[in-house]
Amino acid sequence: MSFPAIMVLLVAITGLIWLIDKLFWAPRRDNDAKEPVVVEYARSFFPIILLVLVIRSFIAEPFRIPSSSMVPTLHIGDFILVNKFSYGIRLPVLNTKIFDTGEPQRGDVVVFRYPVKKHKDDPDIDYIKRVVGLPGDKVGYFNKTIYINGKPVAQDPREKPKSMINIAAPGSELRAEQLGEHNHLILVEPGIKRVEGETVVPEGHYFVMGDNRDNSNDSRYWGTVPEENLVGKAFLVWMSWDWNEGGIVWNRLGKSIE
C-alpha cells in the first residue's frame, strides 16, 4: 500500500472514531468518566495526520534523490521538495486532477510516476528528470546534442570543479545548456555511445532526460511520460547527505533547482 493510501486510511479511521464518540459515546458517558484510550488517540492524531495529508497531497512533498542520473544538478543524498500544485491539483491515491493550475515548461525538473509497468499491480516508482520535449515537439538526440524541431540546443563547455571529482565519471565533460528559461549544467562522456534517434512527442505527453546524459534511464529508452503520471515540479534542496563522508553537505542546503 502506498504512503498516500495509508495516510487516507488513517485519516478515515481516526476521524470516524472521533465522530462516533462525539455523536454517540460522549453524551452517554458520566461527566467524570475517563475518555477511552482509542478515542483519545484518535482525537489527538486526526488533525495531525490530516494536516500532513493535505500538505503532501496539495502543497509540497519531500523526495530523496536515489541515483546519479541528474548530476550535476542533483546529487545522490539530496532531499528535495516537490511543488504539488504546479501542474494541477490532484486527489490523493486516485490521482484524478480536480483543478488545472499549469503545465510543465521546457527545462522544468519534474517528478513523475515511472510510466512502464510489466503488470498493472506493480507499485508506482517515482522518477525525476528534466523536461526536454513538449507535446507536438520533434525531439532528436545526436552526438551528445539535443535537437528540438530540427534546431540544436547549444552547449558551452565549463570547467569541472574539484567538488565533482567523486560524483562525475572520469573523462566526463561539464557543459552549460539552455532549455526554455532554465540555464543548467549537464555531464556528458565523449567516449561513450548511447541511444540516438528522433521522435515526435504525442499530445498529453512529455519527453524527459537526465542531466547526467550518459548515465540516465529516460525517455530515450522507454518513451514519453503521460501527463497523468506527473507528481510535481522539483524546486528546492532542503537537505543533502554525503553517504561517503557520512555528513551533511552544508553548501547545498536551501539550493534552488534550476
pLDDT digits (tens, 9 = 90+) for 161-217: 888 888 888 899 999 999 999 999 999 999 898 899 999 999 999 999 999 999 999
DSSP, residue by residue, 4-71: HHHHHHHHHHHHHHHHHIIIIIHHHS-TTPPPPHHHHHHHHHHHHHHHHHHIIIIIEEEEE--SSTTT
Mean pLDDT of 25-53: 92
Question: All 3 cell numbers of residue 93?
Answer: 491515491
Confidence of residue 241 (pLDDT cuts 50, 70, 90): very high
Q: Which helix (H) or strand (E) holds 222?
A: helix 219-222
Q: How many CB atoms lie within 10 A of CB 244?
A: 9
**Active-site residue numbers?**
69, 129
Residue with grid cell 483519545, as numbered in its chain: 40
CA distance 202 to 205: 6
